[in-house]
Structure 1
Amino acid sequence: MEKLFEGVSTLHYGRVGSREEVPVSSLEGPGKVLGLYFSAHWCPPCNLFTPELVGWYNRLRTSGKDIQVVFISFDNNEEDYEEHFSTMDWLGLPFKHREIKANLVRKYKISGVPSLILINAHTSSLISKDGRYYVLNDREGDGFPWTPETLEVCLSSGFLEDKEGLDLSWVDIKDSLKVLGLFFSAQWCQPCQSFTSQLISFYEKMKKKFPSQFEVIFVSSDLEESTFKEYALKMPWITVPFKDQKCQKLRQIYNISDIPTLVIVNPQSGDVITDNGRTMVTIDPNGMEFPWYPKPLEVLDEASINIVNDNVSLVLFTDGSPDQVQMALTLLSPVAEENFKNNSGRDDKDTIKFFYSNDSDLSASLREEILKIPEVFPLLALVDIPSQRKYVCDTNNINEETIASLLSSFNSNTVQWSKLN
């Protein structure tokens, strides 16, 4: 817990004038659940949901559930923060700690409010990014502490269905699999319909290459069984039966909030290889780099831009000439590979990603429209889109020392950031 609030030893509790300071360390412990509540006074949906959360929180606390919530403010000023916080019965991160808020937004990919993240307060592991689901669907906390199932446990319960609609056991197919695609989709979703055709073509190509090593499972969000069956009939892969509990459990395990989504996972461990399968199928339809394992160093392109959008990224912009591209590879490859090795298994949001650019429209768009930095190459920058900030090196003489110095500043939290836009 202390790492989540690094640099802060206490949190607020209570109103101004009778405020208490509660140690961050008190949040930790076996059996405890922590909710991070991202909200704002100016947000009408937040003002509607907050009373629901207050009632739920107090019911669970009264019944002995060891849950705590911390308010993370999206308010524009401290006055609005205090007014909104006065409607809550839990702890609050002091408004002045904007850097902590920015780190949490980046770590949990918060794209809007209200948002409730549930965390195991003993291990700091994520329980769910959709805590609102539990507020609305487990009103008495009967499922507390909502420990997520593993992929293995989830898929092993009950049956799946093959493309003919016959029962299929996960146990019978899993041992030969090396790559599994989980396709979250629905018949009523027009983008899903469009992507399904692409995915069918891709699937058929990959099954020819890897007949027993690759499979896709359709996880439906359909509302009617008739439309589910109509949609599933078009698909050549396995499906989770209609309204089966595995659908919701898989959405929770992989924190699915949008469809269509294609998550590529290791079927033996359940670990995510990439949650960007939809984009990858589109830009790599022949699967030349399938299954798209993460790389220490990426070129800035359509495949990697989602990584930039979600993480702190070090980008070395070049003019695309062979000499500058080779310079970027020579300078960045050793440090990127070392970083990749050292951070293997860590939460992606706690690490920095490495990129180099060529002379592409996408690179120019990021540089000119988002970062608003000049067309001078080579150019080294830190890009933190989730926290809406950037740092641009003031020298074009990029070398090992320049990169090492920038990374040292990042690791010691001494980067002199400036705001995007």
Structure 2
Amino acid sequence: MDALLFSGTAAIALAMKRTAAFSVETLSVQSLINRFPSLTEFSERQKPVKIVGLLFSAGWCPDCQKDVPKVEAVVQAAKANDVSNLSVYYVSSDRSAEEMMKSCNHSVFQAIPYENGLERSALKRHFKTCAGVERQEVGVEDRQFGVPTLILLDQASGRVLTTDGVNDCVRHVDTPEKVMDKWKALLEK
């Protein structure tokens, strides 16, 4: 996130512009599983989750260090209230597996294995989301989002619900039920 301070109206307009500018094809659940095998866990549960989150992040990133703990708090609260509604996967931009182990809270997030660099890169290319320093390495020419970014998907359809999950968590870290209510309402649209 930029260091600039925005008025509430400007921040909302920016969020709407970012979401409107972002478009990837909707993937069916089977298509998601075929393209990104590490995501199969959410579809193999007896009661599949309703919302799948992809948290693009890195431990070395100052914005991630500031905002990801707020995402953790919201996700942890959501899981405590209703485990079956949300599963968030950490998509690392860390420099090593050790760095990822330190920066990813595995008690809150699933993780795309660090060793599975091809799949992490494919997710980054598909969602046009990565750290600026890795754009060339992962092949993201027209990056839409940097780190941290939390993209939420409807598990049933693969439809992108929002690309603004981090900001939702930052704004409502003290009222995580508001965040989950908002995300559940997006399922109905």
Q: Do the structures match in fold with TM over 0.5?
A: yes
Once residues 208 and 106 of structure 1 are traced to their aligned partners in structure 2, the CA distance between those partners, rounded to angstroms, is: 31
Once residues 152 and 65 of structure 2 are traced to their aligned partners in structure 1, the CA distance between those partners, rounded to angstroms, is: 19
Contact 1:273 1:294 in 2 (8 A): no
Shift of 1:230: 1.9
What pairs up with 1:27-38 in 2 under 5 angstroms?
Answer: none
2:167 is the alignment partner of 1:279: yes
CA distance 1:204–1:233, shift in 2 (3 Å): closer
Name the counterpart of 2:31.
153
Name the counterpart of 1:317.
none
Name the counterpart of 1:254.
127
- Pick the structure with greater CA Rg: 1
Once residues 225 and 196 of structure 1 are traced to their aligned partners in structure 2, the CA distance between those partners, rounded to angstroms, is: 18
- Report SS of the residue matched to 1:273: strand
Name the counterpart of 2:50.
178
Name the counterpart of 1:290.
180
What pairs up with 1:187-336 in 2 under 5 angstroms?
Answer: 187-233=59-105, 235-244=107-116, 245-256=118-129, 257-285=145-173, 286=175, 287-292=177-182
Shift of 1:260: 0.1
> TM-score, normalized by length of structure 1?
0.31
- Report SS of the residue matched to 1:288: helix
Once residues 18 and 90 of structure 2 are traced to their aligned partners in structure 1, the CA distance between those partners, rounded to angstroms, is: 29
CA distance 1:289–1:201, shift in 2 (3 Å): closer
- How many pairs align? 151
> TM-score, normalized by length of structure 2?
0.65
Contact 2:87 2:109 in 1 (8 A): yes
- Report SS of the residue matched to 2:66: helix
Once residues 221 and 236 of structure 1 are traced to their aligned partners in structure 2, the CA distance between those partners, rounded to angstroms, is: 18
Alignment RMSD (CA, Å): 3.4
What pairs up with 1:6-21 in 2 under 5 angstroms?
Answer: none
Name the counterpart of 2:13.
none
CA distance 1:236–1:208, shift in 2 (3 Å): same
Percent identity for Structure 1 against Structure 2:
20
Contact 1:179 1:265 in 2 (8 A): yes
Once residues 166 and 18 of structure 2 are traced to their aligned partners in structure 1, the CA distance between those partners, rounded to angstroms, is: 22
Which structure is higher in RCO with an 8 Å CA cutoff and minimum separation 6? 2
Once residues 18 and 75 of structure 2 are traced to their aligned partners in structure 1, the CA distance between those partners, rounded to angstroms, is: 33
Contact 1:180 1:216 in 2 (8 A): yes
Unpaired segments ≥5 residues, structure 2: 1-16, 130-144
Residue identity opposite 1:181 in structure 2: G
CA distance 1:151–1:190, shift in 2 (3 Å): farther
CA distance 1:126–1:267, shift in 2 (3 Å): closer
Contact 2:169 2:179 in 1 (8 A): no
What pairs up with 1:347-366 in 2 under 5 angstroms?
Answer: none
Once residues 163 and 45 of structure 2 are traced to their aligned partners in structure 1, the CA distance between those partners, rounded to angstroms, is: 22
Once residues 194 and 126 of structure 1 are traced to their aligned partners in structure 2, the CA distance between those partners, rounded to angstroms, is: 28
CA distance 1:266–1:241, shift in 2 (3 Å): same
In terms of fraction of residues, the more helix-rich structure is 2
Contact 1:186 1:221 in 2 (8 A): yes
Once residues 170 and 212 of structure 1 are traced to their aligned partners in structure 2, the CA distance between those partners, rounded to angstroms, is: 10
Once residues 199 and 272 of structure 1 are traced to their aligned partners in structure 2, the CA distance between those partners, rounded to angstroms, is: 18
Residue identity opposite 1:273 in structure 2: L
Shift of 1:107: 10
Shift of 1:126: 5.5
Once residues 158 and 178 of structure 1 are traced to their aligned partners in structure 2, the CA distance between those partners, rounded to angstroms, is: 18
Unpaired segments ≥5 residues, structure 1: 1-104, 111-124, 128-147, 161-167, 296-343, 345-421
Shift of 1:151: 5.7
Shift of 1:215: 1.2
Residue identity opposite 2:170 in structure 1: T
Name the counterpart of 1:337.
none
Shift of 1:234: 5.7
